[in-house]
């Protein structure tokens, strides 16, 4: 068959890999001038590695992603450092990346609260019954089982940071997925995620896959006579779309009303991420990931010092810091200039290190996307659009369909390959 794939992110490329192996003629269309999708990166001239626009890493349990890398013969390029993650309590940062550190964390108090925290964590790690958990909100479930103090210290700030005004509406299956399979050791690819995407695209091309970069598709239509699909007037037997639900609806407005309504009814958060190149390390203690409580007045959800994860020598000696946030569409950050956003963030950087000054900043980059984090409501499984759409030969695979799992490259690969199995 002649198959078109819209989007050269990890999901689209994974689907292309399998469909090409099955003997089909594959063309990938990508609006950007590079592969990688939301996991793509950028590179300063004096850096050896690229840097992700939106910070990414892998977990040791990311079997779909790591399995694909092995198939590609690139497993020797994957590294798993163990950086330090910290939690905030009474104006201090405490390591929170192991059972021992969790037990020592003073923010949970002592006695019953720590016991409840431990039992809740253990339950979520061992249970597989996520469907029961999607019937209740994370807000309600954690208040009941973890208790008010543990919830307000640990889980409420996470939910508010991720989902803003939707934080009381998110179902417990989402939080289960985060707790169930994640690891403290985090992985990356030598050279950066963009390096992996470029190597993957190169291997696809060598297999005969055509990748058209810098091509924005305007419409997908069905030819009623031939039953083929037209992608901007080019005919294909089947089409897989790996974009956001909103873009899918725009590309193919002839989809039946119920399917379109389902696409447009899915809620999601956008993201704004500032990346800074600094002369000095922001973290005095070598911390990598700061879980930032917005209730304390910080203007972003997470601060990540990337060069406490991989050495600064990969970036020409620059110290690389991310400051990022998930935001509702229409938030003022989306319309602010880079300099305006920097002015908003600078006082927060000084809280992390009182010695920080504007002179430390060598360069900043700001990246924004309207589609970064799906919002799963109670009973969300019934809202997931089918991969096979009602139009014969048209398929849809996006991070809004990886539920109950959270978004990420591992599940992009999983749903891309699942779509390929259906299409074969």
Residue with tokens 């304390």: 296
| Per-residue pLDDT tens over the stretch 325-352 | 999 999 999 999 999 999 999 999 999 9
Residues 6 or more apart whose Cβ sits within 8 Å of residue 202:
none
Pick the CATH number of 2-44+193-266+384-423 from 3.40.1190.10, 3.50.50.60, 1.10.20.140, 3.40.50.2000: 3.50.50.60
The string of pLDDT tens digits covering residues 272-298 is 999 999 999 999 899 999 988 877 889
- Residues 108 and 396: their CA atoms lie apart, in Å, by 43
Contact 185, 80 (CB under 8 A): yes
Would you say 27 and 341 are in contact if contact means Cβ atoms under 8 Å apart? no
Q: Is 155 exposed, middle or buried (0-12, 13-18, 19+ CB in 10 A)?
A: buried
The tokens describing 241, both together, are: 């779309």
What is residue 391's predicted lDDT score, i.e. its pLDDT? 96
pLDDT at position 73 is 97
State residue 296's pLDDT score: 85
Task: List, for residues 38-76, the tens digit of each pLDDT value.
Answer: 999 999 999 999 999 999 999 999 999 999 999 999 999
- The closest alpha carbon to 158, from 112, 242, 96, belongs to 96
Mean pLDDT of the chain: 94
Region 406-417 average pLDDT = 95
215-251 pLDDT, tens digit per residue, is 999 999 998 777 899 999 999 999 999 999 999 999 9
Distances (CA, A) of 163 to 18, 143, 174, 259, 421: 35, 17, 12, 25, 33
Segment (H or E) for 26:
strand 25-30
How do 2-6 and 238-241 pair as beta strands? parallel
pTM: 0.93
pLDDT in tens, 78-100: 999 989 999 988 889 999 887 78
Confidence class of residue 189 from pLDDT cuts 50, 70 and 90?
very high
Work out the average pLDDT over 252-272: 95
Element (DSSP H or E) covering residue 211 = strand 210-213
Token pair 């990356």 in the structure block, residue: 188
Is 21 a residue whose pLDDT tops 80?
yes
User: In this prediction, what percent of the chain has a pLDDT beyond 70?
Assistant: 100
Percent over 90 (pLDDT), the chain: 83
- DSSP, residue by residue, 283-337: -TT---EEE--GGGT-SSSEEEEGGGTS-GGGGTT-EEEEEEEEE-TT-GGGTS-
Place of tokens 């910290």: 86
Per-residue confidence band for 31, with pLDDT thresholds at 50, 70 and 90: very high
Q: What is the pLDDT of residue 110?
A: 77
- Residue ranges covered by each domain of the chain: 2-44+193-266+384-423, 98-181
Q: How many CB atoms lie within 10 A of CB 208?
A: 10
Predicted confidence at residue 153, as pLDDT, reads: 87
Q: What is the pLDDT of residues 193-203, one digit of tens each?
A: 999 999 999 99
d(CA 225, CA 33): 35
Rounded to whole angstroms, how far apart are CA atoms 269 and 164?
A: 9
What confidence category does residue 114 fall into, taking pLDDT thresholds of 50, 70 and 90?
A: confident
Confidence at residue 284, expressed as pLDDT on a 0 to 100 scale:
87
Q: Evaluate whether 93 touches 123 at the Cβ level (below 8 Å).
A: no
pLDDT, tens digit (0-9, with 9 covering 90-100), for 355-399: 999 999 999 999 999 999 999 999 999 999 999 999 999 999 999
Residue 183: pLDDT over 90: no
Assess contact for 22 and 16: CB atoms under 8 A.
no
């Amino acid at each position: 068959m002649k198959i078109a794939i819209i989007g050269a992110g990890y999901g689209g490329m994974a689907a292309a890999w399998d469909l090409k192996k099955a003997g089909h003629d594959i063309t990938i269309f990508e609006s950007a001038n590079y592969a990688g999708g939301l996991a793509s990166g950028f590179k300063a001239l004096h850096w050896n590695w690229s840097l992700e626009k939106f910070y990414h890493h892998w977990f040791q349990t990311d079997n779909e992603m790591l399995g694909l890398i092995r198939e590609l013969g690139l497993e020797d390029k994957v590294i798993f450092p163990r950086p330090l993650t910290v939690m905030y309590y009474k104006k201090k940062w405490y390591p929170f990346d192991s059972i021992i550190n969790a037990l020592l964390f003073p923010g949970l108090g002592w006695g019953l609260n720590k016991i409840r925290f431990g039992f809740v964590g253990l339950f979520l790690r061992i249970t597989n019954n996520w469907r029961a958990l999607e019937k209740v909100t994370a807000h309600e479930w954690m208040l009941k089982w973890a208790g008010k103090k543990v919830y307000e210290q640990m889980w409420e700030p996470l939910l508010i940071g991720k989902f803003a005004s939707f934080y009381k509406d998110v179902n417990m299956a989402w939080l289960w997925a985060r707790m169930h399979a994640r690891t403290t050791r985090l992985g990356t690819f030598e050279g950066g995620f963009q390096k992996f995407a470029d190597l993957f695209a190169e291997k696809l091309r060598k297999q005969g896959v055509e990748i058209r970069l810098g091509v924005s598709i305007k419409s997908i239509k069905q030819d009623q006579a031939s039953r083929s699909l037209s992608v901007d007037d080019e005919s294909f037997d089947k089409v897989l779309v790996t974009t956001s639900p909103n873009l899918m609806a725009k590309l193919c407005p002839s989809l039946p009303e119920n399917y379109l309504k389902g696409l447009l009814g899915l809620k999601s958060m956008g993201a704004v991420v500032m990346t800074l190149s600094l002369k000095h390390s922001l973290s005095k203690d070598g911390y990598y990931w700061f879980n930032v409580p917005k209730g304390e007045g910080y203007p972003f959800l997470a601060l990540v010092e990337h060069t406490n994860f991989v050495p600064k020598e990969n970036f020409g000696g620059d110290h690389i810091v991310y400051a990022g946030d998930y935001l509702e569409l229409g938030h003022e950050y989306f319309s602010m200039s880079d300099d305006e956003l920097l002015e908003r963030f600078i006082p927060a950087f000084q809280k992390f290190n009182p010695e920080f000054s504007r002179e430390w900043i060598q360069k900043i980059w700001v990246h924004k996307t309207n589609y970064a984090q799906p919002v799963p409501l109670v009973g969300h499984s019934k809202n997931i659009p089918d991969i096979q759409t009602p139009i014969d030969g048209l398929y849809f695979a996006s991070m809004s369909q990886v539920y109950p799992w959270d978004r990420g490259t591992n599940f992009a690969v999983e749903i891309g390959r699942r779509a390929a199995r259906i299409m074969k």
